[in-house]
Amino acid sequence: MTEKPVATLEADVVIAGSGPGGATVARELSRKGKKIIVCEAGRYHKWFGYTASTMNILEGKGMTFSKEGNWIFSAKTAGGGSVVYGGLAFKPPAWLKEKYGIDLEPEVAEIYEEVPIRPLPETHIGPGALKILEAARDLGLDWKPNDRFIRTDRCKPDCGRCMHGCKEGAKWTAREYLEEGVRQGSRLLLRTRVDRVLTKSGRAVGVRARGPGGPIDILADTVIVSAGGLGTPPILQRSGLYDAGRGFVVDFGRFVCGPCETQPSRYEIPAACGVNLAEDGIILVDATPKPLLYAAMLGLSGPKHWLSLPKVLETKKTIGILMMVKDALEGRINLDRSFSKPIDPSSWAKLNQGTVLAEEILQKAGVRRKDIVTTAPFAAHQLSSVRIGGLLDKNCQTPIQGCYCMDASVIPEEWGLPPMVTIVALGKRLAKHLATTAQTKAAEQKTA
């Protein structure tokens, strides 16, 4: 028996999820005077900077695994994954325009100017990162400073807690757009998980959600499902779109680390520099996990890695490389939010190739081969689970009229890049489309 809602709210647009996609649409449309309600399943966490606080922000306290046992990190907090991402900025690949006709250059330019996005200056690149940069260049790699969502005038070079939540406010997160939207009149409902899209005659008329007080109906002419790569498919499945979640990508990665004579800063900024081997589908950046995360990763990597646990005590003199690879569009996300995501043979080949290269760089930097430690694969991205060109049209609209998606799930195919710039740009693009559509509709009604 379906529960009756304890309350009914109304808005012009209701958004399920407050991550970078949903927050961007909320901010842009609230600027245009639209009445927006954003539903966020998580809380507004404010304790940042530590592994324990990060686990509190993640879905399942950081213990989320695929059916195959692969470790997946997925945020559950206001601002979504932007709160705990590393702040890396990669522009959309050229094929997004060439193959799908989606030109994001204007929106990307807006983002780079607004944040602003820049590479880190030399003052913010630590000694460990510099040692890796020199070694990689000696091996002939185009290793260079990465573009970052970091305002260096607010950033402490010896902090390095970017992936644990930025306490200094130096790293851009979607919370900035959320808060601006609220100042413009948007309403943010925390601890409120959207269950499904309400429809009438094939058109979206709102959502059914559950908040702290029970079920809520939020009526709106436009629905934006922005619950993330893992969260969006179950909402669409409950709304009758059962192919949602059939195949997705996660950009599997791993750390390769080891102690060296160069004394790195224990808290230097991670991912300061790196290389994008686009043809191979591999990205490498300098990064070393913090001690508790390092220990957890080694512990979960299986018995053969347990002997390496004492190396966690050498973190103060450890340098490391983080890789991510472009994986295949496989797996399935289920109605109950469980999921299957195997590591396909092609992804294993890329992980092995990246590991060999990372080992060569570390040895060139002074790490002894016998001291190098490699963690088991994990993933922090969840993308392409509904897809433009699949379940979605070019404007990210589902087969349900008036129901759109806007998060990493809309990425049309295998990715292999930090997706933040692309998601925010797509959010800006969708907001422009909705604003134009609303203006056209209003003009037609006026002349009718």
Does residue 157 have a pLDDT over 90? no
Question: Residue 43's pLDDT band (boundaries 50, 70, 90)?
Answer: very high
> What pTM was estimated for this model as a whole?
0.94
E strand map for 345-447: 373-374, 378-379, 403-405
- Residue 288 confidence class, pLDDT cut points 50, 70, 90: confident
pLDDT at 71 over 60: yes
pLDDT on residue 312 = 67
Q: Is the pLDDT of residue 446 over 70?
A: no
Q: How far is CA 28 from the centre of its chain?
A: 20
Residue 364, pLDDT score: 97
Q: Which residue has the higher pLDDT, 241 or 53?
A: 241
pLDDT for 51 equals 73
* Domain range annotation of the chain: 1-42+77-115+172-249+383-448
Contacts of 279 (CB under 8 A, 6+ apart): none
Which pLDDT score is estimated for 191? Answer: 98
Q: What is the CA radius of gyration of the chain?
A: 22
Residues across the chain: 448
| Structure confidence at residue 440 as a pLDDT band (50, 70, 90) | low
**For 57, which DSSP code?**
H
Rounded to whole angstroms, how far apart are CA atoms 424 and 25? 9
Q: Average per-residue pLDDT in the chain?
A: 92
> pLDDT at residue 302 above 80?
no
Could you tell me what percent of the chain has a pLDDT over 90? 79
Q: What are 400-439's pLDDT values in tens digits?
A: 999 999 999 999 999 999 999 999 999 999 999 999 987 6
- At 87, the pLDDT band (50, 70, 90 cuts) reads very high
390 and 396 Cβ atoms separated by less than 8 Å = no
Task: Residue 362: name the closest of 158, 131, 152, 119 by CA.
Answer: 131
Of the options 3.50.50.60, 3.40.50.150, 3.90.550.10, 3.40.50.300, the CATH number for the domain spanning 1-42+77-115+172-249+383-448: 3.50.50.60
Q: Does residue 347 surpass a pLDDT of 90? A: yes
* Per-residue model confidence (pLDDT) at position 320: 93
> What proportion of the chain, given as a percentage, has pLDDT over 70?
93
- Cα separation, 357 vs 359, whole angstroms: 5
User: 286 pLDDT exceeds 80?
Assistant: yes
Q: What was the pLDDT predicted at 75?
A: 94
Phi, psi of 115 (to 5 degrees): -65, -55
